[in-house]
Structure 1
Amino acid sequence: MSKEIITLDNIDVTFHQKKRTIEAVKDVTIHIEQGDIYGIVGYSGAGKSTLVRVINLLQVPTAGRICINDDVIFEGSKVTLNAAQLRSKRREIGMIFQHFNLMAQMTAAENVAFALKHSGLSKEEKKAKVEKLLDLVGLADRAENYPAQLSGGQKQRVAIARALANDPKILISDESTSALDPKTTKQILALLQELNEKLGLTIVMITHEMQIVKDICNRVAVMQDGRLIEEGSVLEIFTHPKEPLTQDFIKTATGIDEALVKIYQQDIVKHLPEDSLLVQFKYAGSATDTAIINDLYKTYQVSANILYGNIEILDHTPVGEMVLILSGHQEQLREALTAVTTANVEVTILKGDY
């Protein structure tokens, strides 16, 4: 059974500025298990970065309870650790950021070594550890390079190595791929996934991109205006999003909105024949194993013209989406769609009389 490593209960963060009161986080409860890659997604100002800074008390909440790896570090309205205990607890939590935060006058190796300043290791032990960490992130040959001599992806790898210097159990990624191009982003996400598997590292990803959540996370929380509006496994959230904001995020991540704009511009859709329907199928898990389209014609004499199709793996489960024109006699169309629904495929009629 998995163990909870981060417990945030009823977290409030309120700021007072002159005559204004800002409720940045309102009554948020999140439980993260060891080994999770947990995404917290929302637009700017949603409160996600403020919430995550609560995990290591870089932001002290106004109210709530925080438990990190079995230790209660905040309860009610008070930090329960003294300064030395808090420093020790923070060493269990690494952080990486959008802009890398490397020191320009230090080499890659020196940037990583800086995090070991208070580690108690000997000079030789520090050197060996830095070499091991740079090797772990694929930068063994760049140890003596300065940040100005590194690409954005390489800088982020140095930042990841530095964040891992004190053997943290938790890694917080605050928009860490936002400044990177798509190819480099995929490489950094693959590295984080590898570290999660190899080191058993629990990763908390803050992002405004559901695509990143889709690529790497196993659980996701959606925030809006300081509140948690939806939370669950990536599979649950992507296949059955409840809140309008979540639905918008997912449409952008899957590309279906963009595809539908083009589909509706096609002549065959503009002038849809009377015996035809424009439909959208969504399916997950074992439903993707069935030859649904083939069976429609064989059993019901309903032909299918596929206009868009996409299948991907979310948290080890195949998930698919398809837009197609189905043609046949009305009774056969009805029977065919009933059979498709029975096979655990979600059906939406986009155009046509049914």
Structure 2
Amino acid sequence: MSKKMIQLDHIDVTFHQKNKVIEAAKDVTIHINQGDIYGIVGYSGAGKSTLVRVINLLQVPTAGKITIDDDVIYENKVTLSAGQLREKRREIGMIFQHFNLMAQKTAAENVAFALKHSGLSKQEKAAKVAKLLDLVGLSDRADNYPAQLSGGQKQRVAIARALANDPKILISDEATSALDPKTTKQILALLQELNEKLGLTIVLITHEMQIVKDIANRVAVMQNGRLIEEGSVLEIFSHPKEELTKDFIETATGIEDAMGKINQQAVVQNLAKGSRLILLKYAGASTDEPLLNELYKNYGVTANILFGNIEILDHTPVGEMIVILSGEGDNIEAACQAIETAGVSLTILKERE
């Protein structure tokens, strides 16, 4: 069984502002295993950044218990001395949306700054900085200042700096929000590589399910300071329970955009008699079945595919399809039952008797 790296139990974070009480986190329990890439998703104000700042006590909670790598660091009060807390924080690296680099220092000097209290000699620091810049693919940019670097390169420097003290945990707080889609993919691929190479436990905070979908193995969804849904990425994408989670997933898979366009097509607006517009969702082995061919062979039902999408989530193929089924009434009913028997989820979006 995997070792638990981060355990947040019944965390409350309450702020008092003038006459208002704000519950930024309310009774949140999350356990993150060593080596997980764990995504925490929510819109602005959901409480996800507050919750993650609790992990290294940059935000002291109002109540609850925090265990990091088997050490209880908070149980209704901070349980570490200032020195012990400093040591613990060295085990947790952080990267942010706006990089937070020092403009007057080169890439190498920005990384070296994190080694200020490391006790390493000058030569050892230089060797470590060179190794870290190589790790993030920036060896040739060591002497460049931030102004001479692209957004993606700045984030790579920030990642190298966050790894300087050999942390066990890396927290990414909306770290790709300021980057274009191509650069975002490159940074996510780098984080995945670091997770595999170094055994890093990575916590991703994001408002985009797409980011989680690309690299996480587990995901938590937050709304108004509460944890509303949690599970493996595969579970959450295959069987989301909460409306907010469904919204996030529809945006991430492109089905939301697709539906807007599909509903404007003449073939949908003037659905033929005896037809059904259906949404199919499937995962794992059912993605390999020649299901729609079988429907025609067995029931004389034709399938007009209007949209299809398949991706690999946590090494498992997952897909969805929007299809118009046409045929005799009883045969369509039998075909729909055959689809569900094959382990494919089916939703009727529109039908004409």
**TM-score, normalised on structure 2?**
0.99
CA distance in 2 between counterparts of 1:294 and 1:179 reads 45
Q: Is residue 40 of structure 1 aligned with residue 40 of structure 2?
A: yes
Matches within 5 A, 1:236-255: 236-255=235-254
SS, match of residue 352 in structure 1: strand
Structure 1 counterpart of 2:265, one-letter code: Q
Structure 2 counterpart of 1:281, one-letter code: L
Deviates more, 1:154-163 or 1:294-303: 294-303
SS, match of residue 260 in structure 2: helix
- Give the aligned partner of residue 171 of structure 2: 172
Matches within 5 A, 1:61-100: 61-76=61-76, 78-100=77-99
* Counterpart contact for 2:156–2:187, Cα < 8 Å: yes
How many residue pairs get aligned? The number is 353
* Alpha-carbon displacement from aligned partner over 1:213-245 (angstroms, at most 9, x marks no partner): 111111011111111111111111111111111
Deviates more, 1:274-283 or 1:160-169: 274-283
Q: Is residue 121 of structure 1 aligned with residue 136 of structure 2?
A: no
Structure 2 counterpart of 1:67, one-letter code: T
CA distance in 2 between counterparts of 1:259 and 1:173 reads 31
CA distance in 1 between counterparts of 2:261 and 2:20 reads 46
Tell me the CA shift for residue 69 of structure 1.
0.2
- Give the aligned partner of residue 130 of structure 1: 129
Deviates more, 1:63-72 or 1:293-302: 293-302
SS, match of residue 194 in structure 2: helix
Identical columns (%): 78
CA distance in 1 between counterparts of 2:30 and 2:79 reads 20
Matches within 5 A, 1:311-350: 311-350=310-349
CA distance in 1 between counterparts of 2:293 and 2:120 reads 65
CA distance in 2 between counterparts of 1:160 and 1:326 reads 50
* Counterpart contact for 2:276–2:348, Cα < 8 Å: yes
* Counterpart contact for 2:272–2:352, Cα < 8 Å: no
CA distance in 2 between counterparts of 1:38 and 1:206 reads 9
Tell me the CA shift for residue 300 of structure 1.
1.3
Please identify runs of 4+ aligned residues in structure 1 that moved more than 6 A: none
SS, match of residue 211 in structure 1: helix
CA distance in 2 between counterparts of 1:183 and 1:8 reads 34
CA distance in 2 between counterparts of 1:65 and 1:20 reads 25
* Alpha-carbon displacement from aligned partner over 1:59-79 (angstroms, at most 9, x marks no partner): 000100000000000002x10
Tell me the CA shift for residue 113 of structure 1.
0.3
Structure 1 counterpart of 2:105, one-letter code: M
Q: Is residue 268 of structure 1 aligned with residue 267 of structure 2?
A: yes
SS, match of residue 309 in structure 2: strand
SS, match of residue 348 in structure 1: strand
Tell me the CA shift for residue 327 of structure 1.
1.1
- Give the aligned partner of residue 50 of structure 1: 50
* Alpha-carbon displacement from aligned partner over 1:98-120 (angstroms, at most 9, x marks no partner): 00000000000000000000001
- Give the aligned partner of residue 7 of structure 1: 7
CA distance in 2 between counterparts of 1:277 and 1:13 reads 49
Structure 2 counterpart of 1:228, one-letter code: L
**TM-score, normalised on structure 1?**
0.99
Deviates more, 1:257-266 or 1:184-193: 257-266
- Give the aligned partner of residue 24 of structure 2: 24
SS, match of residue 245 in structure 2: helix
SS, match of residue 120 in structure 2: coil
* Counterpart contact for 2:287–2:318, Cα < 8 Å: yes
CA distance in 2 between counterparts of 1:23 and 1:226 reads 6
Deviates more, 1:142-151 or 1:272-281: 272-281
Deviates more, 1:16-25 or 1:116-125: 16-25
SS, match of residue 117 in structure 2: coil
* Alpha-carbon displacement from aligned partner over 1:87-106 (angstroms, at most 9, x marks no partner): 00000000000000000000
Q: Is residue 299 of structure 1 aligned with residue 293 of structure 2?
A: no
Tell me the CA shift for residue 18 of structure 1.
2.5
CA distance in 1 between counterparts of 2:278 and 2:243 reads 21
Tell me the CA shift for residue 336 of structure 1.
1.0
- Give the aligned partner of residue 285 of structure 1: 284
Structure 1 counterpart of 2:295, one-letter code: L
Structure 1 counterpart of 2:220, one-letter code: A
- In structure 2, runs of 5+ residues without a counterpart are none
CA distance in 1 between counterparts of 2:240 and 2:326 reads 30
Tell me the CA shift for residue 285 of structure 1.
0.6
Structure 2 counterpart of 1:197, one-letter code: E
- In structure 1, runs of 5+ residues without a counterpart are none
